[in-house]
């Protein structure tokens, strides 16, 4: 079995470890846990992981968020991976910081990265892990909030949720999406 694990984010130091780049941080944590290493390749940073007889192609697109679909489509086609074996990790302002949601499909909900994927893949039917980042920003300041760094007091919970997200990726591959959704979607994460 082969899986494409996609972390959405933007390249460049100014975006590192911002709320919008949580996808990069989760995929990076997964790769580190399994002893992998990223290389720069076509449209993405790519790492190959083998775990429990399964192959994972892990990518962090280098196309910037609003063109993420280009990288995902390229690696899907190159590695011959079906949409059901993709897992996209994405930030989600509609979810509070203490939540993670796993979904088999769904709309882009105004997220430019997911919008790009939907356009490139021609479908909304691919699994996504939505990492709640909350929406604690004044009206009209969504972009600043999303592209901003975590508050000091949020960092321990974010670290915990990154670890949980790595376990969700493993469970997604080992047990399938339905069982994993049952385990994680009603969880409230706290320290």
Which residues are identified as catalytic?
20
Extract the tokens encoding 26.
């989760």
**E strand or H helix at 142:** helix 142-146
Instruction: Give dist(CA 68, CA 116) in Å, integer.
Output: 6
Task: Please report the DSSP string for 112-141 in residue order.
Answer: HHHHHHHHHHS-S-S-EEEEE----S-TT-
Handedness of CA 85, 90, 95, 99 (dihedral sign): positive
Q: What is the DSSP letter of 85?
A: G
Closest listed residue to residue 47, CA positions, set 29, 64, 66: 29
Instruction: Give dist(CA 52, CA 50) in Å, integer.
Output: 7
């Amino acid at each position: 079995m082969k899986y494409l694990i996609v972390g959405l984010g933007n390249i460049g130091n100014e975006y590192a470890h911002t709320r919008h780049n949580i996808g990069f941080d989760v995929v990076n944590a997964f790769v580190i846990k399994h002893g992998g290493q990223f290389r720069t390749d076509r449209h993405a940073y790519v790492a190959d992981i083998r775990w429990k007889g399964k192959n994972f192609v892990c990518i962090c697109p280098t196309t910037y968020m609003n063109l993420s679909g280009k990288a995902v489509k390229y690696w899907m086609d190159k590695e011959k991976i079906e949409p059901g074996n993709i897992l996209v990790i994405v930030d989600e302002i509609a979810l509070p910081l203490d939540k993670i949601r796993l979904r088999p499909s769904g709309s882009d909900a105004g997220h430019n990265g997911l919008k790009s994927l939907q356009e490139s893949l021609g479908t909304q039917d691919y699994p996504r892990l939505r990492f709640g980042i909350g929406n604690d920003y004044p009206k009209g300041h969504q972009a600043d909030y999303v592209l901003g760094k975590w508050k000091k007091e949020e960092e321990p919970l974010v670290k915990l949720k990154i670890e949980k997200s790595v376990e969700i990726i493993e469970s997604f591959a080992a047990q399938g999406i339905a069982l994993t959704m049952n385990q994680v979607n009603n969880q409230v994460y706290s320290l």
